[in-house]
Amino acid sequence: MKSPTFPITKDVLQDPVGRLNALIAAAHAEMAAAEAEAAKAEADMAAIEPHPHAHGYTAGGDCRYAGLQPGHRLALAGLLARPWRFPLAKLEVAKLQHNLDYLLKAFPAVLDDGNDDLAEEGATALTERGEAVAEKVLHKPALGLGMVWRAYGFHHRDRIAWVGAFAYRGGLSQLVDRTAGVDRDMPLGDSLTVTVKTHATLLTPIGKQELHARAARRDAQRQASWSSVPETYRENGPWRDRAPTKSQRHMMRRIEAARALPMVEVGRRGDSSEWIASSGGNPRFAPSRGEKA
């Protein structure tokens, strides 16, 4: 008789529990090593400096969401150059007056109120910070706005914490005031940068919640837009017999993974649409436990 692959020794027979514990401990050690390796890889990726325009497009996209226009560019630079206390208080008052849900949305009103003086100050501030005063990217207005924030320290990797700062409900002035390294004469832009970096742990979850809420609103708008389409087209339109879209296939895979549903055959576009709807739609926006659907 040949020896088995894993020979049963006297020691194993006498201590099977110890052998099992040793195997579990070895598995835990391998898992810890794999997690450490993954964390190092993530840190290495985060340390890679993105293209300079990544900062501008990210900040500029949020500016566009908040209603800032290309013509606000120099005035924005001027506002960010002023000592932080008064302009930040003015922004918070404007937010309350206009019943806004996001502080960055108050910037257009404040900028329009003192646009001429602020624009002159902004041109001077940009020159002092080594930024071009003349707008060289008129065909990319969001980039031009975003690069103003970059001049005051905005970094792409802190983007979610920045969103959290503008969505912060506790009074941003108070948060800035208790931030180490910020004095009363520091420019508004610099003080916001220091605050975001210092309180990233607090602000990042707020930013994630804000971005999720925006995505949920966009999804609801798309659903409402589709519901407004005539029923005859939705039920019998020629679109139903076309091949499913890439987005539909991706959504079906997400639903299958999130809800542990069985894999289904990819049918026509109409069948795929009905399957997505009957399966609860986008799992990203599913009601949380305890929340009514």
- Residue-wise pLDDT for 53-75, tens only, equals 888 899 999 999 999 998 899 99
Q: How far apart are the two ends of the chain, measured CA to CA in Å? A: 64
- Asked if 154 and 59 count as a contact pair (C-beta separation under 8 A), the reply is yes
Long-range contacts of 265-273 (CB under 8 A, 24+ apart): 268/240, 268/241, 268/242, 268/243, 268/244, 269/239, 269/240, 269/241, 269/242, 269/243, 269/244, 269/245, 270/239, 270/240, 270/241, 271/240, 272/244, 272/248, 273/240, 273/248
Angular region, 242: left φ>0, alpha ψ -120 to 50, beta rest:
beta
Q: In the predicted model, is pLDDT for residue 102 greater than 90?
A: yes
Each residue's pLDDT tens digit, 164-204? 999 999 889 999 999 999 999 999 999 999 999 999 999 99
Let me know: does 214 contact 116? Beta carbons within 8 Å.
no
* Tens digit of each residue's pLDDT (9 = 90 or more) over 114-127: 667 899 999 999 99
Banded pLDDT at 290 (limits 50, 70, 90): very low
Q: Per-residue pLDDT tens for 117-162?
A: 899 999 999 999 988 776 654 567 788 899 999 999 999 999 999 9
Q: pLDDT confidence of 14, banded at 50, 70, 90?
A: low
pLDDT band at 282 (very low <50, low <70, confident <90, very high): confident
Q: Tell me: pLDDT of 289 over 60.
A: no
